[in-house]
Structure 1
Amino acid sequence: MFDYTVQSDRTVENVIDRLNESLKEESFGVLWDFDLSETLEKKGQGIDGKYRILEVCNPKAAKEVLSHHLEGGYFLPCKIAVFEKDDHTQIGMPKPTELIRLIDDESLHDIALDVESRLKRAIDQSK
């Protein structure tokens, strides 16, 4: 599967608060908290439920990726989606290890694996 997604009984807002803290513990910062559902509503294209996308970054890992392969920046920053589905909150991301495979550079695998492991821990601690 290309993604890592878990379910929570917490609200979207509560998950986002917890996620901000757990990301800090994993040395990631939130660059942008995009409220997609609110933006679509303003454009007359509302969706059912809340949908937020966090763009997150670990500067050291980003530098390592870009130092090996500038096109690795196509996958930066990492995205974590938090949304309502079937009366639950879903927290998920595309797996960095799956994305980085699109670049044929084996030297990036270990970096992607480390990023993925830390983001999974942050997500798991937030649910």
Structure 2
Amino acid sequence: MYYIVATDKSFDQASVDLESAVKKHGYGVLHVHDLGGTLRSKGLAFDNECKIFEVCNPSQAAKVLSIDMRLNMALPCRISVFTEQGTVKIGLIKPAQMLSALSQDMALVEVAKEVEEKTMQMVDEAK
């Protein structure tokens, strides 16, 4: 269900490279959540870094929503850059598996597979 790769890049470089890969594949970055920074700003001890990139391809999102409007709650796609035990990782929850748990519509499965292929390529290129 998860696709996670480790990288030798720094956390900051992996984040920059992910954003570049997202744009290269015709997706946009809607928002970046700095989860690590947010937790630390609230006074919590959190040693890891974690940025969550909300990414979207408008035409793919429109296809999903035209099939099942309830799936707006599963959008946009999220790709994370994070540290775990000193290693920088980039990962996502595979869209095809996630959306297949929410709908059995074959048209949706095809869209989800296309999105999954692209988002995994983004992760690999940022690695």
- TM-score bucket of the superposed structures, by smaller chain: over 0.9
Checking the alignment, whether the CA contact within 8 Å between 1:30 and 1:57 is kept in structure 2 is yes
1:39 counterpart = 2:38: yes
Shift of 1:76: 0.3
Counterpart secondary structure, 1:79: strand
Which consecutive aligned stretches of 4+ in structure 1 deviate over 2 angstroms post-superposition? Answer: none
Match of 1:107 in 2: 107
Question: What percent identity do the matched residue pairs reach?
Answer: 33
Give ranges in structure 2 of 5+ residues lacking alignment: none
Match of 2:120 in 1: 120
Give ranges in structure 1 of 5+ residues lacking alignment: none
State the number of aligned residues: 126
Q: Which TM-score applies when normalising by structure 2?
A: 0.95
Shift of 1:106: 2.1
> Distance between the aligned counterparts of 2:54 and 2:119, measured in 1?
12
RMSD: 0.9
Q: Which TM-score applies when normalising by structure 1?
A: 0.95
Counterpart secondary structure, 1:117: helix
Counterpart secondary structure, 1:99: helix
Match of 1:97 in 2: 96
Counterpart secondary structure, 1:113: helix
Counterpart secondary structure, 2:26: coil
> Distance between the aligned counterparts of 1:118 and 1:56, measured in 2?
11
1:12 counterpart = 2:11: yes
Question: Deviations along 1:22-48, whole A, 9 cap, x unmatched?
Answer: 111111111111100110111122311
